[in-house]
Amino acid sequence: QKEVEQDPGPLSVPEGAIVSLNCTYSNSAFQYFMWYRQYSRKGPELLMYTYSSGNKEDGRFTAQVDKSSKYISLFIRDSQPSDSATYLCAMRAGRRALTFGSGTRLQVQP
């Protein structure tokens, strides 16, 4: 079983919809939780970063971490066609290397 599980999608939504992307994990030592966005044929780029449990908001994006359930989410409000990309969750424990999910492909239809 992988340490980090992520539904590969694709997830197709109409423009303006609220999108929910999720990851589950098994390692209770994970403390830092990140979401990376990867456009087709490009390298990933950091979107949001959260330490421990709670919510973090940045514009149309909200990241949630529920450590008791070992579950993290990324919400995108008022989704745009430019949000179409693969979203990878990543997490780490202490100073260890990042562990990535396999990514969810999102398509926002105009």
Partner 1 sequence: NAGVTQTPKFRVLKTGQSMTLLCAQDMNHEYMYWYRQDPGMGLRLIHYSVGEGTTAKGEVPDGYNVSRLKKQNFLLGLESAAPSQTSVYFCASSSPSGRSYNEQFFGPGTRLTVL
In the complex, the residues that contact partner 1 under the rule CB under 8 A are 4, 6, 8, 32, 34, 41-46, 49, 88, 90, 92, 95, 97-98, 100-103
Least Cβ distance, residue 17 to partner 1 (angstroms):
25
Is residue 14 packed enough to be buried (19+ CB in 10 Å), middle (13-18) or exposed (0-12)? Answer: exposed
Complex with partner 1: residue 50 or 84, whichever CB lies closer = 50
Rounded CA-CA distance 83/60 in Å is 11
Q: State which residue, 74 or 103, has the beta carbon closest to partner 1.
A: 103
Q: How far is the CB of 101 from partner 1 (least distance, A)?
A: 6
